Amino acid sequence: MTATTSNTTSQSNADLASTAHLMTRIGDQLASQLSLVSLNGTRRPAPPAPALVLVAHGSRDPRALATVRTLMDRVREQRPGLSVHLGHIELNEPLLPDTLAALGDREAVLVPLLLSRGYHVKRDIPEMAADSAVRARVAAPLGPHPLLVETLHARLVEAGWRTRMDAETRRTSAVVLAAAGSRDPESRVDTGRTAHLLAERLGVPVVPAYATTAAPTVPDAVAALAARGRPRVAVASCFTAPGRFATECAQAAPWIASAPLGTHPAMASLVLHRYDQAMATPAATKERSLATA
């Protein structure tokens, strides 16, 4: 066989393979479209979207439950028709295992109302999901993200932060970003990233501080900033809802303290963004989905 004949044969085989691949794709697309049509020719209704389960930590402060329920209503307003549910890790009902049990074997995306990675996101929530019949995906926590920073900024402005400052005021101003705290180093990374994004937005230093477990505490961070010539310190409350930690951190503010993030519209948008992100991540099996959350 000559080289010309060999090349021609190879090209013919490649063309046949390409044609076969194209026909397979056309067949798959046709089958997908036909699956939406019933035998009498009418279009079958699209399957319902997976449920969205808001996963809150839980608090003994009754304001926390009221806040989370209102946030759930804001999510429903932004995405009408989406099935939205609530489950708590502890302290409040409904507890997450009970919410998941009520969903049966439905598909669901669990969105933690937590602001950084940590034990609850990595272990508690995936394990509760794995113990249920729900075909679950666990979304990323709410932070860090620009929408979270948008809410933090809005709450500071509500508390009295001036968006326009003269040079002297800016030179003596700073913010302490008050968060819950965790032993997980990735939680500190996430909180630090949120602080960095907020500092870029405000144009002043933002120092992360913690209510428990991690250091520095809010009073220590305030004192350190004062020692650096920045006595005009605001405390930005990086908590989803009111509670003991948020209250204690606010009391340590030498100037103003913002309210918890709560039901700001950007928070509802962020919840839906995390839901959509999780939906866009392939998850062939429940185990794979939980392992890569």
Active site residues: 57
User: SS in 3 state form for 206-237?
Assistant: EEEEECCCCCCEHHHHHHHHHHCCCCEEEEEE
Q: Give the CA distances from residue 145 to residues 117, 154, 192, 194, in Å, rounded to whole numbers and listed in that order.
A: 13, 15, 12, 7
Fill in the DSSP letter of residue 88.
Answer: E
- Whole-number Å distance between alpha carbons of 73 and 206: 32
Q: Are 197 and 115 in contact (CB under 8 A)?
A: no
Q: Are 55 and 89 in contact (CB under 8 A)?
A: yes
Residue 166 backbone dihedrals phi, psi, to 5 degrees: -75, 170
Question: Which tokens in the block code for residue 257?
Answer: 């303290």
